Structure 1
Amino acid sequence: MTSPPAGRRHIQDHDAAESSVPHWGYPSRVVPCVNDPGSCAYLDAVYWMHDVSMLYTFIMWAVIGGLLFIILAFRVANPRNSRRPRSKAELESQNVTKGSSFSRAWGAISAWTRRYLLPESLVYFFGHVTRLQIVILCAMLVYLLIFTLVGTVYKSWVTPIEDSPKFNTRTPLGAVGNRVGAFAYALTPLTVALSTRENILSLITGVPYQHFNFLHRWTGRIIFIQSAFHTIAWTIVQAKLYQPQPQVYNEFIVQVYIVMGIIAQILITFLYIFSIKRVIRWTGHEFFRKTHYVAGILYLGFCWGHWTKLACWMIASIGIVFLDRGCRLLRTLAIHLKLKDESKGIGFKAAESKITSFDDGDGGIVVRLEFAHQRPPWRAGQHFFLCFPELTVWQSHPFTPFPSQLQSDARHTYIIRCLKGETSRLPLLPQNASGFANTPVILTGPYGTPILDNTTPNILAIAGGTGISFALPLAAAAAATPTTATDDAPVRRVELIWVIRRARNIEWIQDELNVLLHSHQKNVTVRIFISREPHTLTFNTFDDSKQSPSPSSSSPPISASPIGDEKVARPLSYVMPQHPNLHVSWLEDHHPDMGEIVQEFVGSGSSSVAGGRVQVLGSGPAGMGRDLRAAVAAANDGGKVWRGEEGFDVDLYWDNRYM
């Protein structure tokens, strides 16, 4: 049997209709109703609930837009919103000096908020995310639950069937299923926007795009649950409540829009199952990325075909996807399109990189990737996506660069731990006569919002393993930048904490560490914690002598070698640095206590030259992030900040793309 014409509902008698009343997102209502009284009452309820459902979706987006506007307004009103150094006159003119009530109130509220919402909770269920993100998710769930149940006609009607002794049971189940489905459609642009790199939400909120991944995953799961409920509800209605069976269900299931809905449900089920962390570990991250993207696009298309009257949500979602991909392509072209010469015109030129491999001492390989590239400019803490076309053109990975020798951002240096996937093939590339491997690199970026707060006088940068590529350039940038533009500006206090497993890991950044220590001796302290070696371990030095001094004796300073130096790589040659501002702790079999590190830094702030607020910047394993969030939360004290003790206003930026 053929399906009814588009826009018609089988319960209404279109042939006897005198007119129709349009309803946005739904077939028009036929008037007058010539069905039995029960069916007419049911139609009244269905169309009223549908109109309310459409109103609720608009209200939901009005709330989202309002919250974004409030966040933007708070960012503008923030007395510390400027990332550039400010003169004393500017501070006084804006009434944000240390003693101003507005500045103290702002700091106190910020400190209280961090104290209670910064730590992680229910890690076994939600993963390593802050309480703030969990609160936002719970608020979204409560909103959706309330507006799913409110505005529903809780009544059923038993209506006769012409030329049949059976009866139809009409309930609000189908209408509630439609409301849940409408919410799923309306949430789709949001979950797509939360997943993009070229993220408009980041521009409004100042939150880097990668921090939206948690909400992206959970809004996707909410949509999966909503679509499943929508499918089950209409299956019950068409296969059980409507009679006679199986005739009604057989006519229902073969309609084109139903077939498209079934395919869409299969696709979103696939998206959900293959985004579970355990399944990703089984199938591999690259399989997840490629299938997630393809299945996601197909899902949007089939949702559009399933219910064209609400296609606006799918059109918006597809537009966001293609806008994101287009901006990525334009970024890449802007970096790599160069003028060859007058005869050859413009061509695409990848950056030529040099790779040095290091044994991390635990059976793993870490590579140092270096190349020169004049554009685009980037700030410390931002990251690029790197593609290695010699390995594959279908993958790119996010890595944080630091300027080689900490001197010029035209010189990119990356510290990459080679795990599974394409990065594991980097150490296998053939080496040249100088002992280095070379490979072309395609960049996309830079990504990330400005991280370093130039109005904060105390900077604590913490890194675990290869997270040093994030923390080191921020520490160097902080040491080189005063807190204000005045001549009598206090010296900034900067401390770099680096937790590594083996002493040999120092070789990854030995040149840059040397530059940092000797260029900013007055205000920079570096503390290195070695977690898996005893203090009695001896070392090879740069001259590869068989017997080298013990850690307590004098050893050669770190030697800096430029990128262009073609010396033979020294995979087993490293030294224990010696400098008054460098302190090395040998822990042997445990990690340092993040709480003690933060409390020691905050506690010493009152006697330091700088004084004032504290910004903590960190990158490393997830466990380190959990401990650091708890430590920073405990260090915040809104009451003391209100009384003028700014040292207890401690901010944290945690880089969650640990590579």
Structure 2
Amino acid sequence: MSDATQLEPHWGYADRALPCTSDKGSCEYLDLVYSAHDLGMLYAGILWATIGGILIFWAVRRKLSLPSHNLAIPYRIHESASARLGRTARAAVQRYLLPEFIRSVFGHATRLQVVVLVSLIGYLTIWSFVGLAYRTWVTPVKNLPGVYNTRTTLGPWSDRIGVLAYALTPLSVMLANRESLLSLLTGVPYQGFNFLHRWLGYVIFAQGSLHTIGWCVTEMRLYQPQPAVAQQLVAETYLVWGIVAMAVLTLLVFLSTSCGIRLTGYEAFRKLHYSLAMVYVGACWGHWDKLECFMIPSLIFWLIDRGLRLVRTAILHYQILPSGNVGFRSCSADITFCSDSEHGDVYRLDLTNNQDPWEIGQHYFLCFPESSIWQSHPFTPLNAPQVRHGLVKHSYIVRARCGETRRVAELCANKLSSTQHTSDTKAISVILTGPYGANIMEALEPNSNVLCIAGGTGVSFVLPVLLRLSQSTKSANRKLQLIWAIKRASDVKWIERELEALKQVSADANVDVSVFVTRDLGTKIESTNGTRRPNTAKLIGEFLENTVCGPSVVVASGPGEMISDIRRAVAGFNSPRKVWGGQQRYDVKLICEDRLAM
């Protein structure tokens, strides 16, 4: 029976019985345990306060620094010193932080992303070790003469690591959400947080492992007598849930590796990932329910994300049916099929829907219920959104690779060959979810020179920018150019209507279109500048040299290697010295859709 007279509450931990009636060493150890935990909760609060402060500052700064949406506003050639200083600083950041860093470790992440990750790890490292007294106590075991426990700071430190791992869980969920609060505040598309989400998962795994190892050493080695203490430990419910949590976390980490994704397939990985994530949250809750303050937000963020996805789909598809009733109706998309047995068939989908227009740069997730209702994939409309008679037209180009896109391609081919048609189109049902992503037109200043570079189907990301700019008020000083790399000359047919529209306004809007054919070496097409992969660095340099005034923006989409080359080239052309001297063309901004991040 304890001689304690009161219980002292501690947020996130068991209440402490006071006064301490054990030996002096044990009491000092318990003082450390509780003080270390209290500080850990404080540090977790400081961590979240820091994150919140950064997000608020970012959101306010973004709101204040957005260029005017009116592209017809006359551009100021002579800038104030403060504006020139800001532009110079931006050029410096682009020059030194835009290139990729140690691709074998970090993949296609930029130096800026790695700097953010390293800063977070450094911040967590500081909070993991400060406020702890590093001591060792040898204390007698009650009722066992000659038997002693070795008490060290390893236990309190393991608790601190565990608290921080719990505190990071809501952030990890937020970074993975498609319905992203972070995107709303920062303007960064949700897929831009994938790198940090993945590495934060590795950090939580490392923290969980250290927490587990620390307490296993403490309970199974330092505490006596053994194996009685260890046997008592493994019978505890909280330990069982801890084992479940670490097992699920280990599985999550393995499945997120390239080996795991190849083993399961991407769709299976995606579904397993977000399902197991909630199993992990539940196991953590079962392991230590006193820290539910971190688990409840994680669950709420996950449920909101799932719920809003359904709401988006409902808004797009619950409409007035021909019968006069309100009900769910999928879109009917016309198919234009382009056979390519070597590189993968391509099919173009054209549909209309009663909805609000999306912003340039946003994309939709497309589900093909005639193939599977359990899969959807992101695609960017290749047209600029316009409302006509209450309807908005969508156009997509899809290359069949494997899995769902291959099955849909086969379905389209079967539809086109099943009966005789007077044209080469037939319809397929499509369910839309979206739009998602950022409005990339926000980044354009009234007199920005815009270079669009695309590889293959990546043209769907860059083409709407040129279509919108070519339709806006013309500027004699603004230069617009499209560089498109395709494998075959016949691939031009994917967007021949849009290219024809650009051709009609090219002289007035100062638009230049260059198409590079990389595989059909014996074929020549009009406006083709070469029959090899374009040298993006050279082309970007030529574009900058031919601009008259104003900053430059490169909009790019394509394979990972192409995006890497473009990042490296854009970084090299950013020159803080020249920008400070008034040559705004060397303030080069990159807006890219890294299709590997989707």
Give TM-score scaled by structure 2 length.
0.94
Aligned residue for 1:541? none
Which has more radius of gyration?
Answer: 1
User: Secondary structure of the equivalent of 2:545?
Assistant: helix
**Aligned runs of 1:421-440 on 2, under 5 Å?**
421-429=403-411, 430-431=414-415, 432-434=419-421, 435-440=424-429
Aligned residue for 2:529? 584
**Aligned runs of 1:28-43 on 2, under 5 Å?**
28-43=15-30
Whether the 8 Å CA contact 1:83–1:450 is kept in 2: the answer is: no
Deviations 1:472-499 (A, max 9, x none): 111111222248xxxxx54532100001
Task: Measure, in 1, the Cα distance between the counterparts of 2:511 and 2:580.
Answer: 29
Task: Measure, in 2, the Cα distance between the counterparts of 1:121 and 1:163.
Answer: 59
Whether the 8 Å CA contact 1:479–1:493 is kept in 2: the answer is: no
Task: Measure, in 1, the Cα distance between the counterparts of 2:537 and 2:147.
Answer: 71
Task: Measure, in 1, the Cα distance between the counterparts of 2:384 and 2:41.
Answer: 56
**Aligned runs of 1:371-520 on 2, under 5 Å?**
371-403=351-383, 410-429=392-411, 430-431=414-415, 432-434=419-421, 435-452=424-441, 453-482=444-473, 490-520=476-506
Task: Measure, in 2, the Cα distance between the counterparts of 1:153 and 1:454.
Answer: 55
Say if 1:81 and 1:203 are closer, same or farther in 2 by CA, change over 3 A: farther
Quote how far apart the aligned CAs of 1:516 are: 1.3
Quote how far apart the aligned CAs of 1:142 are: 0.8
Whether the 8 Å CA contact 1:360–1:504 is kept in 2: the answer is: no
Whether the 8 Å CA contact 2:77–2:550 is kept in 1: the answer is: no
Given residue 443 of structure 1, which amino acid in structure 2 is its aligned partner?
Answer: L
Whether the 8 Å CA contact 1:385–1:397 is kept in 2: the answer is: yes
Quote how far apart the aligned CAs of 1:247 are: 1.2
Aligned residue for 1:166? 147
Quote how far apart the aligned CAs of 1:454 are: 4.4
Task: Measure, in 2, the Cα distance between the counterparts of 1:406 and 1:160.
Answer: 79
Query: Which residue of the other structure, out of 186, 205, 215, is the alignment partner of 1:234?
Result: 215
Query: Which residue of the other structure, out of 593, 618, 639, is the alignment partner of 2:556?
Result: 618
Report whether the alignment pairs 1:649 with 2:591: no
Quote how far apart the aligned CAs of 1:596 are: 0.4
Deviations 1:172-194 (A, max 9, x none): 11111111111111001111000
Contiguous gaps of at least 5 residues in structure 2: none
Percent identical: 43
Report whether the alignment pairs 1:108 with 2:88: yes
Give 1 or 2: higher helix fraction.
Answer: 2
Quote how far apart the aligned CAs of 1:583 are: 4.1
Task: Measure, in 2, the Cα distance between the counterparts of 1:84 and 1:180.
Answer: 51
User: Secondary structure of the equivalent of 2:16?
Assistant: strand
User: Secondary structure of the equivalent of 2:546?
Assistant: helix
Task: Measure, in 1, the Cα distance between the counterparts of 2:573 and 2:446.
Answer: 19
Task: Measure, in 1, the Cα distance between the counterparts of 2:239 and 2:70.
Answer: 57
Aligned residue for 1:4? none
Aligned residue for 2:546? 604
Query: Which residue of the other structure, out of 601, 620, 633, is the alignment partner of 2:571?
Result: 633
Task: Measure, in 1, the Cα distance between the counterparts of 2:534 and 2:341.
Answer: 20
Say if 1:457 and 1:200 are closer, same or farther in 2 by CA, change over 3 A: same
Given residue 47 of structure 1, which amino acid in structure 2 is its aligned partner?
Answer: Y
Report whether the alignment pairs 1:282 with 2:224: no
Whether the 8 Å CA contact 2:382–2:459 is kept in 1: the answer is: no
Give TM-score scaled by structure 1 length.
0.86
Report whether the alignment pairs 1:291 with 2:291: no
Deviations 1:244-292 (A, max 9, x none): 1111111111111211111111111110000001221222101101111
Task: Measure, in 2, the Cα distance between the counterparts of 1:84 and 1:130.
Answer: 31
Report whether the alignment pairs 1:65 with 2:38: no
Whether the 8 Å CA contact 2:360–2:465 is kept in 1: the answer is: yes
**Aligned runs of 1:238-257 on 2, under 5 Å?**
238-257=219-238
Task: Measure, in 1, the Cα distance between the counterparts of 2:406 and 2:147.
Answer: 67
Given residue 594 of structure 1, which amino acid in structure 2 is its aligned partner?
Answer: T
Quote how far apart the aligned CAs of 1:111 are: 0.4
How well do the aligned residues superpose, as a CA RMSD in angstroms? Answer: 1.9
Task: Measure, in 2, the Cα distance between the counterparts of 1:170 and 1:192.
Answer: 36
Aligned residue for 2:254? 273
Number of equivalenced pairs = 584
Task: Measure, in 2, the Cα distance between the counterparts of 1:405 and 1:144.
Answer: 44
User: Secondary structure of the equivalent of 2:79?
Assistant: coil
Quote how far apart the aligned CAs of 1:45 are: 1.1
Task: Measure, in 1, the Cα distance between the counterparts of 2:289 and 2:30.
Answer: 21
Superposition misfits of 4+ residues, deviation over 6 angstroms: 404-409
Task: Measure, in 1, the Cα distance between the counterparts of 2:3 and 2:404.
Answer: 66
Say if 1:456 and 1:191 are closer, same or farther in 2 by CA, change over 3 A: farther
User: Secondary structure of the equivalent of 1:433?
Assistant: coil
Quote how far apart the aligned CAs of 1:224 are: 0.8
Whether the 8 Å CA contact 2:486–2:515 is kept in 1: the answer is: yes
Task: Measure, in 2, the Cα distance between the counterparts of 1:82 and 1:125.
Answer: 39
Say if 1:475 and 1:86 are closer, same or farther in 2 by CA, change over 3 A: closer
Task: Measure, in 1, the Cα distance between the counterparts of 2:273 and 2:346.
Answer: 29
